[in-house]
């Protein structure tokens, strides 16, 4: 899917409600992932602080790439996910939960597609196919 990020209209950041909306969507996504057995292996052995930092970095990344004023200070996606052996099915499950989080926050279909595209741009860096 090709999404044109260079239009004269407001960036997706503004159209979905800015920082607070992104933070709420990511908060919902992480809550859904914690409750989903498909993601149990990712929370084991991690402190609350570590999980909260990962969540905040996700908010900052999405805020930044969606046209918002945030600056992402985390590592690149390949480095931060190396060795986790994230599969295509786990990726797809994450996208599924992201769609649920977007729907819960009444994000319009066009903006939801663009929001998902912000994640999809990193798929090849996150999913390990070998």
Domains of the chain: 15-126 (1.10.490.10)
As a whole number of Å, the CA-based R_g of the chain is 14
Q: How far is CA 117 from CA 3, 36, 38, 50, in A?
A: 7, 23, 22, 26
Q: What pLDDT, on a 0 to 100 scale, did the predictor assign at position 130?
A: 67
Judge residue 129's burial from the number of C-beta atoms within 10 Å of its C-beta, 0-12 exposed, 13-18 middle, 19 or more buried. exposed
Q: What pLDDT, on a 0 to 100 scale, did the predictor assign at position 104?
A: 98
pLDDT means per 10 residues, the chain with 130 residues, are: 62 97 98 95 87 96 98 96 95 98 97 97 92
Q: What pLDDT, on a 0 to 100 scale, did the predictor assign at position 45?
A: 80
Q: What pLDDT, on a 0 to 100 scale, did the predictor assign at position 3?
A: 53
Name all contacts of 3-11 with Cβ < 8 Å and 24+ positions apart.
Answer: 3/113, 3/114, 3/117, 5/67, 10/67, 11/66, 11/67, 11/68
Q: What pLDDT, on a 0 to 100 scale, did the predictor assign at position 58?
A: 98
d(CA 58, CA 54): 6
Q: What pLDDT, on a 0 to 100 scale, did the predictor assign at position 70?
A: 97
CA atoms lying within 13 Å on the CB side of residue 81: 17
Contacts (Cβ under 8 Å, ≥6 apart) of 83: none
């Amino acid at each position: 899917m090709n999404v044109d990020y260079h239009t004269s209209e407001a960036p997706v950041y503004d159209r979905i409600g800015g920082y607070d909306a992104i933070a709420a969507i990511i908060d919902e996504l992480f809550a859904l992932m914690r409750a989903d057995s498909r993601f149990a292996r990712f929370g084991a052995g991690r402190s609350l602080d570590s999980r909260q930092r990962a969540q905040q970095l996700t908010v900052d990344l999405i805020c930044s790439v969606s046209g918002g004023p945030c600056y992402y200070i985390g590592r690149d996606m390949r480095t931060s996910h190396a060795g986790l052996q994230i599969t295509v099915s786990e990726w797809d499950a994450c996208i599924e939960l992201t769609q649920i989080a977007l729907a819960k926050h009444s994000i319009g279909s066009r903006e939801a597609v663009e929001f998902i595209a912000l994640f999809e741009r990193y798929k090849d860096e996150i999913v390990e196919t070998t």
